[in-house]
Amino acid sequence: MKIIAVCGMGIGTSVLLKMNTEKVLRTLGIDADVEAADIGVARGMARDAEIVLTSADLAPQIGDVPATVIVIDNFFDLDEISDKLTEALD
């Protein structure tokens, strides 16, 4: 499974979201490749990803992609990330 963590610049918050997503996935026992990306690169990457994680302001900019786009309100909240990923994967 491929998951893309997206922020505006692809440097800070997307890396934080990537690391927290990897923690959650380990806890859930799910094997996935998580990549950090900026919004411009994410549009292309999302075409072959299963899930895109991003903020509410960037989600509409992802566009029409086959991936499930999940809005994360707090990139530090492991429970929120876990709940939303679990819901999307069920």
As a CATH number, domain 2-79 is: 3.40.50.2300
The question of whether 7 is a catalytic residue gets the answer yes
Active-site residue, selected from the candidate residues 3, 5, 7, 36: 7
Residue 11: is its pLDDT beyond 80? no
Q: How do residues 60-89 score in pLDDT, each as one tens digit?
A: 998 888 999 999 999 999 999 999 999 998
Instruction: Render pLDDT for 26-47 as a digit per residue (tens, 0 to 9).
Output: 999 999 999 999 888 888 888 8
Which 3 state secondary structure label does DSSP give 7? strand
Q: How confident is the model at residue 54 (pLDDT cuts 50, 70, 90)?
A: very high
Model confidence, pTM: 0.91
